[in-house]
Each structure stands twice: as C-alpha cells, then as structure tokens.
Chain A
Amino acid sequence: MTDIIIVGAGPAGLTAAIYAQRAGRKAVVFEASVYGGQIVNTPEIENYPAIKKISGYEFAQTLYEQAKDLGAEIKMERVVGIKDGGSVKTVVTDKGEYECRAVILATGAKNRPLGLENEKALIGKGVSYCATCDGMFFRGKTVAVAGGGNTAVEDAFFLSNYCEKVYLIHRRDEFRAHEREVEKLRAKENVEFVLNKNVTALREDGGRLCAVEVTDKNTNEKQELSVAGLFVAIGQSPDNTAFENVASLADGGYIKAGEDCLTGTDGIFTAGDCRTKAVRQLTTAASDGAAAALAASGYIDSMDI
C-alpha cells in the first residue's frame, strides 16, 4: 500500500512529494492533465528565494524531475473521489482504485471564467485566459482585459506593447494590483481604463469575438466596445466538489484549513492554492507542500504506535 497519495502535481503537490519521499514515505502523485500547475503560464518567475529568474516551464520541469528522482511516482489519472476507511483511504481515479494511508489534496485553482453564455465557445476564438501565450495573435488589434488584480494590470501592460489599443475593464474604480504597476499602465497612451463596469455580454461575428458589452455598475448604462480579443483575468477558482465527503469547503469552494494544512478529517491533508489562505504564491504553495507532507508522515507514525 502507498503511504501518501497526493492529488495534483502543481508546486504544492510536487513539493509534498519531495518532503514525503525524504521522510521515507512512498508518495504517488495523481495529475489529471499535465504536471506543473498554473505556474507554467508564467514566463518569468522573479520572486522565488535564491532563484533570480526562471521560466515557469523550467521551474515545473525541474520540480517534477526532483520529485521523480527522489522516488515519487507521478500518474496521469484524474481523481474522482476518496473513500475514507479510517486507517486505509481509497483514492478512486478514472482508471482504478488505489489504497493509501494518508491523502494530500493539492488540487490548485483554475482561471475563473466570467460565466457568460457563449464564453466557453469563444475560447481560442477571441477569448483567452493567458495574455503571454496569446497576445501575439492580436498584434495591431484592439483588445480588452477584464480584471483589477496584478495579473490583469500586467496583462494589459504586456498587450499594450503589441496591440493598437487596450481597454482595461474593471468592476470597481480601485485596483487590487500594486499601485506602481497601475501607474506604469496609466502612462501608456494606448490603454483606456473602463472602470465601474462589468462585462455583461460577448458579441460574435462569424464564430469569433467582435465586441464586448459592458454595463456600468452604478447607472446600469450599457456600452459596446469593438475588440478582437478579450483577456479574462478575474482571479482563480478551485474545484474540490469531489472531496466534500472528506474535507469541508468554505464559500468559493476552497478547502477549509489553516497553515497546519489539516482538513479536520484524520489522514486527509491539503496544500497550496486549493485551501483557504490569504496569500497564494509559489513560495506559499511550496511551504504548504512541506507542512502537509510532514503532517501526513507524522500521522502515519502515530497510527503505527
């Protein structure tokens, strides 16, 4: 039987695998798509201690190899549920069932969609969640960014270097993004701030996005902006509904847990962006991975006595 099964091979999950293996536990990590998590979308990481600059891709690749070299097994299977049999947990995937002694949920978070009717159909046809991946396809065109956090402001800045015009649509008139970044963006002549407005409809022409409808939060006045692209950067949302039987979820779907990474269910731990926390960064994901793995290892020790 596996000692610790980790659900999710992002930075938190793979760090947990490293700590588990180094604590002498056999760790198996399950990943539904590809390892690395959200960090692979980041072109340059410049805030991870002792690494001055690294691409998200290279970071993910190195972390994966480090975990594998220590003996962790990474399986490409989607976990669909967990059966809690007390001292033995059964992890159910789309391919089979696996018994283990402890589970670490490190399911991460995904880009939050606007939730508009035709949004999904327009992904890749004007709607994007990754400005650094897709910006070049909109060279010389007019685009919009939706959001008010660091990602939205950084995306708008990045796009302003390629695009004819960039609208930054934000539902408030204040930004969560760092003031310094907002000021940098204000200095850009081809960026227009569209504030106190929500994106309320996506217009299409021939199956591609051609305009967005924005609605003023205060006056309800509607306005249409002709754009070839819309970059959605309104934050992340988790998906932990498959684990409600073993972990209680807070509003928004995050797993309720503190810095100790305990879920309240014996033998079930959580790490990274999928849990309730104030700061969701690469460093805090790694930190959680360590805390959860050592807690899981300690739990197995306590069961052996």
Chain B
Amino acid sequence: MAAVVVTSANFEAEVLKADKPVIVDFWASWCGPCKMLSPVIEDIADTEDSVKVASVNVDDEMGLASQYGISSIPTLLVFKGGQLVNQSVGVIGRDEILALAK
C-alpha cells in the first residue's frame, strides 16, 4: 500500500487513531534530500505490514508542520496510540527508519 497523504483534515483519523505505529514523513518537492528519502518511505509502505506510512507535504500543510514544530525536512515522526514516540531529522536508511517504529 502506498503512503497515505495526510492533511490537517484527516490527520486525526489516519495518524492519531491508527491501529498500528505510523511513520509520518514531512517533505517538500523542492527539498532534494526529501526526494531521495521518498522512495525508501514508499518501499516501507509497500512491504511492511507492521507499520502504517503517511506523508505530509509541508507546502500544503504548513499548519501541521508548525503544530509539530517542524523546522527541518525531511523529518520523520512516529506515532503509537495517538502519541508521538520518536522522531528523526534528515536522510536515514530503511533499517534506521524501521527501528524508529520498533
């Protein structure tokens, strides 16, 4: 399954009320490192059933970005049971991303 595109309208339903850990990728189209990370994120979305993967385009969703204090991208936030449990800034590898959601 591809990463779910998340907006302020569906953030609660898709992320906070999800029944498994959610990795949320904050990105933008003009951010080179974000675009390098995207295929890794999509691959996790396609192959890992234990986590849900969501993406937030910060250009469209500045409100969500500022709500979570995002000031560097790419940033990954991990939510479990509606709680922010982990985060990481910058490009990291697939294994490191999955470790955030462990």
Interface residues, chain A, with chain B CB atoms under 8 Å away? 32-36, 40-43, 55-57, 60, 76, 78, 94, 123-126, 128, 130, 132-134, 136-138, 208, 229
Contact = CB atoms under 8 A, between A and B. Distances in A.
A134 B94 contact: no
A34 B33 CA distance: 9
B81 interface: no
29 contacts: A34-B93, A35-B36, A36-B36, A40-B32, A40-B33, A40-B35, A40-B36, A41-B33, A55-B32, A56-B32, A60-B32, A60-B36, A78-B93, A94-B95, A123-B72, A123-B89, A124-B71, A124-B72, A124-B90, A125-B69, A126-B71, A130-B33, A130-B72, A133-B34, A133-B72, A133-B73, A134-B71, A137-B71, A137-B72
Contacts of A229: 71
Nearest to B94: A76
A138 B89 CA distance: 17
Contacts of B72: 123-124, 128, 130, 133-134, 137
B6 interface: no
A134 B73 CA distance: 6
Contacts of A138: 71
Q: Which 5 A-B pairs have the closest CB atoms?
A: A124-B89, A40-B32, A57-B32, A137-B71, A124-B72
B71 to A, nearest CB: 4
A33 B91 contact: yes
B64 to A, nearest CB: 13
B40 interface: yes
Contacts, number: 71
A124 B33 contact: no
Nearest to B96: A33
B91 A34 contact: yes
B68 to A, nearest CB: 10
A132 B70 CA distance: 15
B7 interface: no
A128 B32 contact: no
B9 interface: no
Contacts of B34: 133
A41 B75 contact: no
Contact of B40 (A34, A78, A137): A34
Interface in B21-78: 28, 30-37, 40, 58, 65, 69-73, 75
B91 A124 contact: no
Contacts of B30: 43, 132
A125 B72 CA distance: 8
B72 to A, nearest CB: 4
